[in-house]
Structure 1
Amino acid sequence: MPSSWFSLRERVLAVSRRVSLTIASLLLLINLGIILYAVFLRYLAGGAPIWTDELARFLIIAGVMLAAGAVWVEGGHMRVALIERLLPTSLCRLLNLYQWLLTLGLAIGGALFSYRYAQSVAMFTSSGLGISRTIPMMSMPIGFALLAWHALWYGPAPLKTLAESDP
C-alpha cells in the first residue's frame, strides 16, 4: 500500500483518538465535580438530590464507551498477547485478522443492537433526571460505533502492547 494511505490512516487515528479521549476526559471531570457536589451536600448539608447519583452513573458509562476505541488502538486495554508471541508469523497474521474481524463485528453489532435498544426505551424517563432514557443510552451505540471506526482504520495489524504504546 502507498505511504500516503498509512499517513492518512495515522492522521485519522491520531485526531480521532485525541477527540475521543478529550471528550471522555471532560465527562470524567464533570463526573468528578458532580460526585464532589453530592458528597458535599450529603455529608455537610444533610442530603443530596437523587439526580446526582443517576447523572454520575450515566457520565461514567458514557466516558468509558467514548474512550474504548481510542484505548483499543493504543493497546491500553487488558489483553494477553502470549499466543501471538509463540505462533509463527503466518499464523500470527491469521490471528491478527481474526481478532480484527471479531472486534469489528462485535463493535458493529453492539452499535446496532444498543441503538435499537436506546430507541425502544424512548417512552420511559429516568427517575432522577426526568429525561428520556434514550438520551443517556445513546452513549452505548456512539461508543460502539467509535470502537468500530477506530478498529476499521487500524486494520488487521498486530495490536500494540503496553510497552509498544506511544508515550
Structure 2
Amino acid sequence: MFESIAETISKLSFLLSRLCLWISSIGIVAITAIIFWQVIARYIFNASPSWSEQLALYLLVWTVLFAAAAGVREQFHIHITVFQNGLNKTRLPTIIFTHLVTASAGLTLAIYGTKLVSRLWQYPIPSLGLPRGSAFLPLPLAGALICFFAIEHIIANSRNEKVIPAWR
C-alpha cells in the first residue's frame, strides 16, 4: 500500500512541478512583453501606460514563487552539498533533516501567506482593479507546494530512491 501512495505522490508531484515551471515560463515571457511595451509606449508614443509597472510586479511575484517551488522539487535551488557528502553514517538523517526544514519553511509560507491574502483581499490594486490579496496568493500556494515537494524528497530518500526531474 505504501508503494502505491509513494507512486501517486511522485506522479502528482511531477505534474505539479511541470505546472509550476510552465507558470514561471509564461510569467517571464509576459513580464518581458509588458516591459517591452512600456519602453515602446514611453519613448516612441510618449505615453507610458499606468498599468504596466504594477502588472509586471504582480506577475513577478507569481513567477518567482512558483519557480522557487519547482526549484525545491527539481533541486535547482542553491544548496551546499559539501557537508552532506562528507558524512557517512549520518548522511540520510542529515538530508531528511534539511528537507524537514524546507517543508517547515513551506508550511510557514502557506499559513502566514493565507492570513496575508485574507487580510488584503478587500483592498484593490488601483491601476489593475484586482484585489491586493491576489498579488500575494502565490505565497500560500507555493508554500504548500514547497512543503509537498519536500515531503516527496523525504519519502524518496527514506526509500533510497531519487526524485525524477520534471524539467529534463
State the TM-score, normalized to the length of structure 1.
0.85
For the residue of structure 1 that corresponds to 2:125, the secondary structure is coil
Equivalent-residue separation in structure 1 for 2:143 and 2:54 (angstroms): 22
Partners in 2 of 1:81 and 1:47 — Cα distance? 51
Match of residue 85 from structure 2: 85
Deviations 1:33-74 (A, max 9, x none): 111111110111113122110110110110111122221121
Q: Secondary structure at the match of 2:24?
A: helix
| CA deviation string 1:128-147 (max 9, x = no partner) | 22322111111211111111
Identity %: 21
Gap regions ≥5 residues in structure 1: none
Question: Corresponding residue for 2:48?
Answer: 48
Match of 2:123 in 1: 124
Does structure 1 conserve the Cα–Cα contact (< 8 Å) formed by 2:102 and 2:147? yes
- Equivalent pair of 1:65/1:143 in contact (CA under 8 Å): yes
RMSD of aligned alpha carbons: 2.4
- In structure 2, relative to structure 1, the CA distance for the partners of 1:23 and 1:165 (3 Å cut) is closer
1: CA distance between counterparts of 2:144 and 2:28?
20
Residues of 2 paired with 1:103 and 1:51: CA distance? Answer: 35
* Matched pairs, number: 162
User: Counterpart of 2:98 in structure 1: which amino acid?
Assistant: Q
Per-residue displacement from partner, 1:93-152 (whole Å, max 9, x unpaired)?
111121111111110111110110111122322242232211111121111111112222
Contact kept, 8 Å, 2:17 with 2:166, in 1: the verdict is: no
- 1:39 counterpart residue number: 39
CA separation of 1:10 and 1:122: change in aligned 2, threshold 3 A: closer
For the Cα contact (< 8 Å) 1:75–1:165, is it kept in 2? no
TM-score by length of 2: 0.84
Gaps of at least 5 residues in structure 2 are: none
Displacement of 1:4: 4.5
Q: Once structures 1 and 2 are overlaid, which stretch shifts more, 109-118 or 149-158?
A: 149-158
Contact 1:13–1:154 under 8 Å retained in 2: no
